Structure 1
């Protein structure tokens, strides 16, 4: 009996995520949430939330197949600052921020920063691959059409990915240090990365 309930719970959770993403998808406002409900993060006026060192959560498993069919595990990138960006080819604000992400990723290549996309709600890989080609995206994206990585990869009450686009930055220890729930330009993206590069 428990075996039949587990898949139902998973389907329900994925359904809840899909509904939540549908409600919050493609938001380009400057909104965000501040600390509360036992959280230790603060959101500035630009919609970027941060957690102080020593009070950062560890994400769950963020691993799977990339759009190119290769295996990728974000845990293997520990020791570097990791930028995780949830996006979809159908999302207007994702298209607006894509050139900024491509530029910053190229500028910081070999400087202790890795970018990983989390492609979600694209019906097939080809749409997403065309998006990456059009915007010259130089980094891999995990293919997550049902949003399972977004749902299960971040503990409740942490700086989690919510909606599309949204971005989380992990510190060198692999912990969740910053989050933005809006489309980012180069300046805002760098403001999330630079302080973490300077941490010892």
Structure 2
């Protein structure tokens, strides 16, 4: 084969390698955002019915909310839990991992607020994800004084049940507030201070 005929082959091969590198880079970027981010943007198209404020908290009006998906399974302590059993209460869902630094930053606030609202019709539930073993997750809860249960979701299967275009989890940590009918009322895609957590929670608790 002449040098002239080999040139187009090298050119095609180079283009293929570049395309593969770009695809891999995009996939890696998406993984990093979902793995442990300090924030994110809302996904989905069309009329999503939610509004994101300048504080990064997205909210949905009462009549336009969508139900949370089936969130049931084993907790990191090995017990059975179904979030639907808490219907009638306001539920705070926190997606976290023991490996996630922003999750560590917000954990003390979740421990404090969950105890303060325990007798006010509010239930906190964690969704622990991407921890290879439940041991690391249990140690995290002990370190930060977290007493509410957490579903164990190491591969993220529970998170994939949320529909695109809704207030779905897109980062770790993500916090969702469900109203008393089990519908998603608010979402944050970043670590929360006590002030911002209460800003999400109080309006939903006040609903009748």
For the Cα contact (< 8 Å) 1:32–1:43, is it kept in 2? no
User: 1:161, 1:183 → 2: CA distance?
Assistant: 13
Moved over 4 A (4+): 17-21
Matched residue, 1:13 = none
Equivalent residue for 2:50, pick from 25, 35, 41: 41
**TM-score (structure 1 length as normaliser):** 0.86
Shift of 1:33: 3.2
Q: Give matches, 1:183-198, under 5 Å.
A: 183-198=191-206
Matched residue, 1:55 = 64
User: 1:193, 1:156 → 2: CA distance?
Assistant: 23
Name stretches of at least 5 consecutive residues in structure 2 with no aligned partner. Answer: 1-26
1:23 correspondence with 2:23: no
Name stretches of at least 5 consecutive residues in structure 1 with no aligned partner. Answer: 1-16
Which structure would you say has the larger Rg?
2
Q: Give matches, 1:142-157, under 5 Å.
A: 142-152=151-161, 154-157=162-165
Shift of 1:42: 0.2
Q: Give matches, 1:170-181, under 5 Å.
A: 170-181=178-189
- What is the CA RMSD across the aligned residues, in angstroms? 1.9
Q: Deviations over 1:131-158 (max 9, x none)?
A: 0000010100000000000111x12211
For the Cα contact (< 8 Å) 1:21–1:162, is it kept in 2? no
Shift of 1:18: 9.8
Shift of 1:93: 0.2
For the Cα contact (< 8 Å) 2:57–2:188, is it kept in 1? yes
